[in-house]
Structure 1
Amino acid sequence: MKNFNKQKEVIICIDSDGCVMDTMNIKHEKCFGPDAVQIFQIEERERFLSLWNEINLFSETRGCNRFKGLVLTLERYGYQGDINQLKTWVNNTKELSNRALKQVLEQSSSADLILALQWSEQVNQNISAIKEKFKAFPNIKENLAFIKRFADVAVVSAANNEAIIDEWGKNNLLENVDIVFGQDQGSKAHSLNTLKSYGYLPENILMVGDSPGDLNSAIEAGVRFFPILCNAENESWQLLVLEALGKLIYGKFSNSDQQCLIEQFQHNLSKVK
């Protein structure tokens, strides 16, 4: 970030999983959920995994930070262990990351925080083991190259930075990216607010995302939002490149345009399973 300089008046901020990388389902179904079952010794595996997928893939909490998703699922499941310290940390920390969790554990240790870190590190290891299967959605490279002609491009994701660099690099996408904000930089809203310090006007910052968390981050930061609809990713990208981008560049992205996109996003999410 130290070497980043604003080049264009508009910046397009893009989430990774579920927007650029077709990785949401495989990561949750093969790593996040099953690893939680193992680490937290969940007895009713299938019920827990069903809840995990509902919370993290098929509801208004789709795409939430992994630690938030963990707490929500453990609570919905009725986990009998003590997770009070974990809940307190999730609700109050400024940075939901392994690094931040390790810092807390250096000050005071608790069993639930230790398990959460063990789970998160195991998830990273298992994601790394299957990463060769990760592919970008069709035409993403071409779409990014087109956007880069008219706007600066940022990755704004809750994924860990190493995974973002690895996945985008292997798909030859980083050449059209100016800056990466990952888990290590804090929340998405914080990252979007940081971009204002580089000189972008709020109405010239567009958050492209597939989850309600992306929408909420855009609202919190006071910037624009464009949805990548689950199960209609290719069509969403076409709309972004052929219509929304031009409106944003020429100052024609209206409040009614924004409201229409949000309504389409919420309607699509309500029927996704």
Structure 2
Amino acid sequence: MTAEPVETPTTKTRYDAETLASLTADATQIMARYPDPRSGLLPMLHLVQSVDGYVSRDGILFCAEMLGITAAEVSAVATFYTQYKRRPNGTYTVGVCTNTLCAVMGGDAIFDELSDHLGVGHDETTPDGAITLERVECNAACDYAPVVMVNWEFFDNQTPESATALADKLILGEDVVPTRGAASVCSFKQMSRVLAGFPDGRADEGVGAGAPTLAGLSVARERGWTAPEAPAADAADGATGQTSPPVGTPGSSAERTPTTAPDTSVGKDKKSGEDAK
């Protein structure tokens, strides 16, 4: 039997005591990773998603209380990034890349087919709560375009037919195997916990970089190509390998003598005799 949510003098959230204690322990670990605990807000938002399935009101209040900031500040971050959901997400986020190369290779057709097949649009969830469908930006997998991701696991070289078959398996609760990376797909809540910084042991599973990714490296090795040597350290910037322009020339960061009207004229908000800015 699920414990009833309770209010306590130390929190405005409605988490039961057991859930609150678990969240607090995990959030404390997250905060300890950073010199400024406030820097832990992003993984903490993933943490509350791993419990609630989205960034709930209670999740926002919890983060604010732990970090000593306002709920408005937490909400500002939670509404900025698309990986944070403000309403219950599906068990699986199915993301179709429709950025340039994937779109050219059929990404738009895949999204349209899935949208019709599932009866939902972008960032909408199927009535059974199984799938949230998304258009996503580049996933750095252009060499396998078009790409579909399920809770950020890769399914490469997709077609409208293979993508709808994948969605049907997810709805039926059948196991699916990503093309690369982990050997299985976990739930949205489980992946949110991983994104919060709590590994699930799957990081070293499967293939990382496949043949298309390594094609350029193979050609370079076959032809004996190597990267050009960096300029001498005394003549170039050590970080970029670029020689700095002389002071006062275009590209120099040194102060220059004002020469144009905007530099020298008195602004509309200035009175005669005041320094122009």
TM-score (norm 1): 0.25
Flag the structure with larger Rg. 2
TM-score (norm 2): 0.25
- The structure with the greater share of residues assigned to helix is 1
